[in-house]
Amino acid sequence: MAPERRFIQDPVLLVREWSRAQLQLQPGLRFDERFGVLFKPNLADANRVTVISGGGSGHEPAHAGYLGEGMLDATVAGSIFSSPNIRQIYRALEAAASPKGTIVVVKNYTGDKLNFSLAAERYKAATGQDVRVVLVAEDVSVPRSRGKFVGRRGLAGTILIHKVAGAAAHRGLDIDRIVQLCDKISNNMGTIGVSLAPCYVPGQQGAETGHSEEISLGMGIHNEPAFDRLPAETPTEEVIKKMLNLLLDSTNKEHGFLPAEAANAGRRVVLLMNNLGGLSTIELGALTSLVSTQLKSMYNITPCRTYAGTFLSALDGRGFSITLLSLDDSEEASTILSLLNDPTTANGWASSIPIDQWTKESGISESVDQGAEKPRRTSLNDIRCDKEAFVKVIKSIYSEVVAAEPALTHYDTVLGDGDCGTTLLAGAQAMLQGAETGSLPTHSLTQGTLALSEVVTEAMGGTSGGIYGIFLSALAASLNHLYEENTPIDVRYFARAAVEALTALENFTGARVGDRTLMDALIPFVTTLDRVSKDQPQGLAALEAAVSEAHAGSENTRNLQARFGRSAYVKDDSGMQQTKEEEAARLPDPGAYGLVAVLNGLLKGLK
C-alpha cells in the first residue's frame, strides 16, 4: 500500500522545516540545525532559572511551540517519535546555561527518560551547574500492575508544567521552589486519551497498523495500543463518562491515581482538552462542552480554568485527551493558578479566562417560546387566507424536499461542499415545525410569508438561506402593497408580486440565467408565471407552466459553466472520478434543482 498522502513525505525534511519556521514565528530565536536545538539568545545574562524540554517530533506544537517569554527557553527535537540523543540534549543544556540552574521537563518514556537524565548528569559533572529533571507521568490509562516498573506515560499535562515552570522562572523563583510547584502539579494531575484511528508517520505506509475500527481508550501518543477497546457505535457521551470515571474514581485500584478528594466539588479544577491532531476545531469545541457538562452533572465540578486546543498531538491521530488538574485551597495551589495566568509569547499556548475574573456567570440564555403564535410587529396588512391551504402547501413542500434531498446532496458533494441538500431540508423542516406548532401566522398571506422568510433564513443560513429570505421578504411586501380590498387573490396577483420580488432579489445578486445558479430556475419560473397569468389569471395553468419552465431551466444547467457560488471553483469535469452515468451527462446545479423541488411542492399543495 502506498504511503498516506502528504505534502511533505520526508520526515527529516519535515522536522527541519518546522524548526526553521519558528524563526519566522518568533523572531529573535536561534536554531542550531546540526543538533535540532532552538533557543533564546543571551540566557546566561537573564540571571534566572532556565527551563528546557524536548523529545521526539510529531507532537507539535510541542515542544518548539512553547518557546517564548514566560515558557520554555530552549527545546531539542528528535526524529518523529524518537528521543533526541545525548549529544543533542547536551547542546540544549549549553544553550540554556544559567548560574541559577536549569530545569529539564521530560515526558516519561524510556528513551526520553534515559537520554535526558544521562545528558543532565554529564552536564552537571562537567560544569558544576544545577540541573533538575522534572519527569511528567500523568497517564491514568496505564494500570499499576503493568506500569510498576516503567511508570505512567507523560501526555498533554506536560504542557501545564511547561507553563507553570516557565512562568515561575520568569518571575525569578528559585529552582527548588519551581520543582516543588511542578511536583504539586504532577501529584494532582491525570490524563486519559481516546482515539478513533491511529496516526501515520510521514513516508510510511498507512496499512497494517494493528488498529481496528473500535474506539481505542487509553491509546498513547505514539500509536501505542490502548488498554481497552469500545465498540465503534459507543455513544460519545458514554466514552466521555468512562474517561472521567478513570480520572476521578480513586477507588479503582489499577487506575485511580488522583487523590480521593479530587472529585470533591470544592476543589479548584483545571480542564485541558487536547486535540491529538486529527480533529477539527469545531469537534474539539463540542467535546469540550460535553466534558464540561458531565463534570458538572456527575461530579458537581466547574473548572476554574478551561483550555482547549492542540497542545500535544500525535501527528494526525483522530482522537483527544482530557487532562484534569485538581488543586486544593493552599497558597501553593493559588500560585500555580496565578502562574497559568501569566502572559507568554509562546505561540502554542492558548490562554484561559479565570472564572473569578468573569463579570458574571456564563449561562445559556432562555429562548423565546416558539410553541404558540404571538403577535408580530409589522406594518403589513393582515390579508386573510385559507389557513388549512397554507399549511398543506408547507407540508407538500417538505415532502418534495425530503424526496429530493439524497440526489441534491449527491450533486452538491460532487460540485460543491455537500451541504445544499441538508441546508434546504433544514429550511423545510423549520417551516413544517412552524406550521404544525402554530408559531407561523398561517391565517395571513402577508404576515405568514414574511414569517417564512425569517424561519428559512434562520434555519438555512449561508447563500441559499439569504436568497430565499430576500425573495420571500420582498414577496410579502409586494403582496401587501399590491393588495386592494375586494381584489381577487388569484394567480395574476401572485405573479405581479413575484415579479417585484425577483426585481428586489436581482439588486442583491448579479447571477442571471446562464450562470448556473438557483436563478436559472427562479427567473424562468417568475417570467413564465407573469406571462401566462395575463391570459389565464384563474386556475393553476400559469403555475403549472411556470414550474415546467423552472424544471427546464434547472436541467439546462447541466450544460453550463458555473460563475457564482462554490461550484464555480470546480473544474468542468467536476475534479473527481466520475461514474459512467456522470460521464454521459453533467449534473444539474444543486441550488436550481432544490428550488424545483420547492416549486413542485407548492404546485402539488395547491392542487
Q: Is 162 a catalytic residue?
A: no
Q: Identify whether the C-beta of residue 58 lies closer than 8 Å to the C-beta of residue 180.
A: no
How far, in Å, CA of 61 to CA of 346, rounded?
A: 10
How far, in Å, CA of 95 to CA of 129, rounded?
A: 13
Q: Identify whether the C-beta of residue 132 lies closer than 8 Å to the C-beta of residue 179.
A: yes
Q: How far is CA 56 from CA 37, 59, 255, in A?
A: 12, 8, 26
Q: Are strands 74-80 and 50-57 parallel, antiparallel or unpaired?
A: parallel
203 is in an annotated binding site: no
Q: Are strands 215-217 and 189-197 parallel, antiparallel or unpaired?
A: antiparallel
Q: Identify whether the C-beta of residue 542 lies closer than 8 Å to the C-beta of residue 529.
A: yes
How far, in Å, CA of 196 to CA of 276, rounded?
A: 11
- Under DSSP, the state recorded for 558 is G
211 is in an annotated binding site: no
How far, in Å, CA of 164 to CA of 180, rounded?
A: 11
> Nearest 5°: CA angle at 473, between 467 and 475?
100
How far, in Å, CA of 221 to CA of 276, rounded?
A: 8
How far, in Å, CA of 522 to CA of 599, rounded?
A: 9
The backbone torsions φ and ψ at residue 379, rounded to the nearest 5 degrees and listed phi first, read -90, 0
255 is in an annotated binding site: no
How far, in Å, CA of 183 to CA of 271, rounded?
A: 18
Contacts of 555 (CB under 8 A, 6+ apart): 588
The interaxial angle of helices 420-437 and 387-415, nearest 10 deg, is: 160
Residue in 63, 222, 255, 551 annotated catalytic: 222
605 is in an annotated binding site: no
59 is in an annotated binding site: yes
Taking the chain, what is the end-to-end CA distance rounded to the nearest angstrom?
58
DSSP secondary structure, 55-70, as one string: EEESSTTTTGGGBSTT
Tell me how crowded residue 577 is: count the other CB atoms within 10 A of its CB: 8
How far, in Å, CA of 315 to CA of 332, rounded?
A: 35
112 is in an annotated binding site: yes
Q: Could you give the residue numbers annotated as active site?
A: 222
The binding site consists of 56-59, 107, 112
The binding site for substrate consists of 56-59, 107, 112
